[in-house]
Amino acid sequence: MTEISTQNPVEQIRSAGVTAAATLGILGGFSALLVWGWFFLSTVNLPADSHGNHSYQAHPVSFFTFALIPPLLIALSIRTSIGLFQLKPWARRSALLWAAFALLFSSLVIAFRPYETFAIREEYVSSLESLKQLLAVSFVIFTFPVGAWCLLYFTRKRVIAQFDRALQKDPTESLNS
């Protein structure tokens, strides 16, 4: 007969939802980094204009902003996802903030471009407009449900209790929060 020892219980039990959110965040972050890198390289490799200036020479502030802000935001999202794996309370609050922004932005796309987002007949628009419509619909289809799910999930009492238990196990975390 075997006995299960109760002296060394598992320190932190992470629910499947938190694990799924953290995994989705990491995969989404690396995917966004890949897409941003492709756009960034495409921008850098644009031919020079009639004056011989490349895009980064003609518009240095815009280029600098495009070069720094997206990777910084992507790095923050990946760090938040790693914090979710570790059940850090700040990561739950950060995930709620990311979810609120995602829900806000997807709602704004729906509110300000309702017809253009979902239904434009191809004979009325160029291929560039069709690409913009595809990107807008993809953004809404991905961010709206994920943002709503995260807002609902990370405000549940059982999920909050998971992060609180992790905080009680790690007394140095209260100094960092």
5-42 tens-digit pLDDT: 555 444 568 889 999 999 999 999 999 999 999 988 88
> What pLDDT is attached to residue 10?
46
> What pLDDT is attached to residue 113?
74
Q: How far is CA 118 from the centre of its chain?
A: 23
Rounded to whole angstroms, the Cα distance separating 174 from 167 reads: 7
Residue 157 is encoded by which pair of tokens? 């009492």
Rounded to whole angstroms, the Cα distance separating 6 from 3 reads: 9
Q: Which residues in the chain show pLDDT less than 70?
A: 1-12, 115-125, 169-177
> What pLDDT is attached to residue 121?
65
- Of the candidates 122, 132, 149, 142, the residue with the CA atom closest to the CA atom of residue 28: 142
Rounded to whole angstroms, the Cα distance separating 74 from 169 reads: 29
> What pLDDT is attached to residue 11?
54
- The H or E element that residue 15 is part of is none
> What pLDDT is attached to residue 8?
44
Question: Quick check: 74 and 29 in contact, CB under 8 A?
Answer: yes
Non-local (6+) Cβ contacts of 56 within 8 A are 43, 44, 63
> What pLDDT is attached to residue 67?
87
Task: For the chain, give the mean pLDDT.
Answer: 83
Specify the length of the chain in residues.
177
Domain regions of the chain by residue span? 15-46+53-85, 86-177
